[in-house]
Amino acid sequence: MSESTQIAVTPSFPPSGGYLQAIRQSSRNLRTQANIMITKESIQRLLRSSAFRSSFKRVSAAHGLNLPLKFDSRLEELNLISVLSLLNFASGYRIPLHEQLHRGAWDTIRAFIFALYITSSSEDNLLSSRGMQAISLTKVAELMGVNLHVERPHKDIPGVVIGELGGPLYDLVGLVTQTLNETGSILVSGGYLNLGSFVLEALKEGERVQARGGVESIALEILVRAFPAFRDMAIVEGQPIYCFKKALFLIHAIRLRFGSVSPPPFPIPSTTESPIFTDNVIPSMLVHLGIIDISQASGLSLLFLGAGSEESLEQLLGPASKSESSRASPSGTSVNPVAPKAGPMLSNAQAFKLRAAAIDACEMIIEEAHLFDAYAGGGKDQDTLAWIREITLPELDMWIWSIAKDRPDYRALERFAQRDTVFY
């Protein structure tokens, strides 16, 4: 069976109440079938490294959800966070976004969401169900600040350049528009004012039937079943794989933004044991940091040549040099970013294998962390390492994602890319 045939097939939904377990189990199954190796030794090396110990507490707090906006209600803020999570993709367009807008995918989507909010009115609310359903490609491009035209030489007149619609950012704007239109149509058909009101109902349903798996599990299931843009799953080489990155991110974002509000405005999910929100950054970083070993993996072994070598690990796992001051702002956006380096462009199957490996790797890292012996090997900072036994999966996710922006030598590392996907 050809790869194009395989990736056209999607698996059945996981059993009700079993979505989180399906993510974990399918990721381990695909990772082991792909012959991607992860060892306890490599995990221990990371946990004891200067790079990890000196930055984890600071960097894992940079979640990028500090929103400089004033909301009329908690529901209005919930709606904006929900749409932000829905559109939390475009990683495959990082290079052209930097070339045209001088910022990456996450910062571009955040800026676009802010523009949707600021330009909306009671008569024309672009973040409402009907506003999402009706928004045009031209309007999306305008609010994103993207030029949809590419220049090419005139085929008949030498020296004349003409502009025409096209290019990678034209494709990206099309994906954003399609996702908004499709989701808006589903919400309108269901009688929902906006995506936030649907998410609120999902949270309440999760609280009502907690015995089936808790608020997070039930809300995740409701979101995935309702909206194609959250159905981050596939069948790869006969194996079902479930990632659900954006839906998990949304649920954790709710925890981060509203978990400390008293009394809580709506049911708040517990996400301490949530699987990571796997994208392209986390798998790529775990390859570079020596955790994910693809040297024996069919179809992947020639990617990231040189990553994980002893020389590379000695530098990357060591402390940042004095000239490499922190480059991440408290909001999680980049300050004076280094121009990104294009990485390998992956097929859908290749990307799912690496994303699955990242999910399983982080599960294994947390298992090792919770058994961490802070006193092994001696050293002056024995007592100060006990905190490693308390780290959580979402914190680990945020550390890996944020550290990729924090050090210039990390920013310069290749990340894989995949276009024509709305999942990450």
Q: What is the pLDDT of residues 248-298, one digit of tens each?
A: 999 999 999 999 999 999 999 999 999 999 999 999 999 999 999 999 998
Nearest to 25 by CA among 286, 360, 278, 424: 360
3-state secondary structure of 21: helix
* Dihedral sign of CA atoms 196, 201, 207, 211 in order: negative
SS3 for 236? Answer: strand
Q: 322, 240 in Cβ contact below 8 A? A: no
**3-class DSSP state of 348:** helix
| pLDDT of res. 78 | 97
Give pLDDT, residue 325.
45
The reported pLDDT for the residue numbered 62 is: 76
Residue 294 corresponds to which amino acid?
I
Three-state DSSP state, 239:
strand
Whole-number Cα distances in Å, 264 to 17, 71, 259:
24, 16, 7
Q: What are the distances in angstroms from CA 77 to CA 94, 127, 219, 267, 416?
A: 27, 11, 18, 15, 33
Alpha carbons 355 and 233: distance in angstroms, whole number:
11
Other CB atoms within a 10 A radius of the CB of residue 175 amount to 20
DSSP H or E run through 133: helix 129-134
Q: Which residues of the chain have pLDDT under 70?
A: 1-8, 211-213, 322-339, 374-383
Please give the sequence-ordered ranges of beta strands (E in DSSP) within 137-287, or none if there are none.
149-153, 161-165, 233-236, 239-242
